[in-house]
Amino acid sequence: MGDARLDLAPLRSPVPRDAVRAYRQEAVARGDAPRGTTWLAVAAVVLIAVVVAGIGAGVVGSNPDSPVGLVFLVVAALVAASVVRGLLRGSPWQLWARLDRFARANAMCFVPQRTGSEEIGMIFDRGHTRITSELMRLGDGWLDGRAETANYRYSITTGSGKNRRTRVYRWAYLVIRLDRHLPQLVLDAVQNDDRVFGIGGSNLPVSFAGSQRLGLEGDFDRFFRLFVPEGYERDALYVLTPDLMALLIDQAGSGAAFDVEIVDDRMYFYAPGNLDFGDPAVWQRLTTIVRTVGTKTLRQTVRYADDRVGDRAVDVVAPQGRRLRRGGAGAAAVLVVAAIAGWWLLTALFAR
């Protein structure tokens, strides 16, 4: 059930072009968004493509058998295709202007884009060129401003020289700030697993030692793999009561599932890829998670204390419970390697 308090009208109404332009100028002046590519820069790239194409055509005309001219023409075509793709993708400013109006109508705060992130979850310390976009801080009507959501991306570069490759990873997240510090708990959703030949494996960017896997009764294990620091199994059961587990299954474990991480005083919900924050249904789901799972988690953890510290009044977790131990290669990666090896073996056997 959605949140009736949401005013979704600003998401459905396009913003006039002059208003978008004015909002862009204000956001850039505040440092809340990049200046972006100017038309002058686009024209310069197009000019370069035309010059390269002219050189290629000249070489081909004078010496049809030379491959040099063909290389110039291919380069010019690739540059032109890149420009066209960028123009067809369109500017994000229309969406950002609508999201700003949506934020103002719902007592929220919107930041179009910024470099890096101040968050501490598992996706935020990886790679380089880290960008947070469509950052929305929910207002007092949703857990007194404890929650925010955004799209996030980072890049990982491997290899060197000709083998150098850069891949961009995209995530969406929702974070809720808690009153107490807790041991790190990870609920790896089964529904959004990466699949190779129909076999699923975790989509998380890191893996955790299998000895920390905790099985629970009922249907919970059908929806989540739960990882708990060794020795903190009772603490996990204190937090994950049956009613909270039921809410997690309903709101995060099924459909377009979210992975969940509790670390220090924060609770994260991760979705692979990006969320379309211009879609009213996305906001209905996110605010429902905040209102149900977030409220219940806050109530359940407000009196949590780590007995290993020795003083229940101190809001800290003992070192052995603060972070899970990382494991080796993820299950999906192992499946890929196994599938390739199996295919190679079958090919070698039947090719004889």
Predicted confidence pLDDT, tens digits, the chain (352 residues): 567 689 999 999 999 999 999 999 999 999 988 876 444 444 555 567 666 566 756 666 676 666 666 665 666 666 555 544 444 445 899 999 999 999 999 999 999 999 999 999 999 999 999 999 999 999 988 998 999 999 999 999 999 999 999 999 999 999 999 999 999 999 999 999 997 766 778 999 999 999 999 999 889 999 999 999 999 999 999 999 999 999 999 999 988 999 999 999 999 999 999 999 999 999 999 999 999 999 999 999 999 999 999 898 999 999 999 999 999 754 445 555 455 445 455 565 655 5
Is pTM beyond 0.85 here?
A: no
Bin 333: left if φ > 0, else alpha if -120 < ψ < 50, else beta: alpha
Q: What was the pLDDT predicted at 37? A: 47
Per DSSP, 108 falls in state -
Beta bridge partners of 266: 177, 263
SS3 assignment, position 299: helix
Looking up tokens 């070489």 gives: 59
Tokens for 172?
Answer: 């969406």
No. of helices (H) and no. of strands (E), the chain = 12, 9
Q: What was the pLDDT predicted at 43? A: 57
Q: What was the pLDDT predicted at 348? A: 56
Angle at 132 between CA 143 and CA 205, to 5 degrees: 95
Angle at 292 between CA 287 and CA 294, to 5 degrees: 80
Looking up tokens 């890829």 gives: 273
Q: Who contacts 324 (Cβ-Cβ below 8 Å, separation ≥6)?
A: 184, 186, 208, 209, 212, 227, 228, 229
Tokens for 89?
Answer: 């993708």
Question: How far is the C-alpha of 345 from the C-alpha of 339, rounded, in Å?
Answer: 10
Length of the chain: 352
3-state SS record for 37-91: CCHHHHHHHHHHHHHHHHHHHHHHHHCCCCHHHHHHHHHHHHHHHHHHHHHHHCC
10 Å CB burial of residue 39 (0-12, 13-18, 19+) is: exposed
Q: How many CB atoms lie within 10 A of CB 121?
A: 23
